[in-house]
Structure 1
Amino acid sequence: MATNNGAGKARHKFHVKKGDTVQVISGKDKGKVGKVSEVLPTAGKVIVEGVNMQTKHVKPQGDQQGQTLRREAPIYSCKVMLYSDKKKQASRVGHTVTDAGKKVRVLKKTGEILDK
């Protein structure tokens, strides 16, 4: 669901954060596991390391030589699922309150707490 904070573009709510380990659940990179390196809230997309690699051809400029660069492109956040490194399993995310009164994210299948 998108929310508009009165500042123009709508911002999407995400189930993943920067630094989370995720698994791609659909598309050409289905099954790949990587770490979220960037979150793009206005586009509803995330950039995952080693996933959705694209080739960019750079022309030579001045004394620099032309080259071919490989970089990650954004994918929609709905195409990724949080991943447990310990259990090697993807899972949906839930929320719970700890004894200290802090709201944390929890993997539903494994019970692993994500936020510390």
Structure 2
Amino acid sequence: MAAKIKKGDTVVVIAGRNKGTTGEVLKVIPDENRVVVRGVNVVKRHQKPSQADAGGLKTFESPVHVSNVALTDPRDGKAVRVGFKTDEHGRKTRYAKRSGESIDV
């Protein structure tokens, strides 16, 4: 299966407590069908001190399911579905189905 959402993409959350929030994809976990998005699903965890870190109460982004996010349209920034085309060089590229605009540049 081809990856519709990749690291560095701008996505909008379409379901859950952070619905409507946009952010950049920091990490993709394909085995679990999850993505980590900057500023979305922020949780606090207690962390023990180590040699590298002082420990304490840390905040970080927890993964969200890939079905709860959608890619943003390059034209207007709204949520859009992703399709695939082959360009003039024979490469497979992603495009926004609503506007027809290419996502991969």
Normalised by the length of structure 2, the TM-score is: 0.86
RMSD of aligned residue pairs (Cα, Å): 2.1
Of 83-92 and 68-77, deviating more is 83-92
Gap regions ≥5 residues in structure 2: none
Deviations along 1:53-89, one digit per CA (max 9) or x if unpaired, are: 0001234569x75521110000111111001354121
- Secondary structure, counterpart of 1:19 in structure 2: coil
Dislocated runs of 4+, deviation >6 Å: none
Equivalent residue for 2:63?
A: 74
2:40 aligned residue (48, 51, 65)? 51
The answer on whether the counterparts of 1:21 and 1:34 sit within 8 Å (CA) in structure 2 is yes
Larger Rg: 1
How do 1:8-27 and structure 2 match up within 5 A? 14-27=3-16
Gap regions ≥5 residues in structure 1: 1-11
Q: Is 1:92 matched with 2:81?
A: yes
The total of aligned residue pairs comes to 104
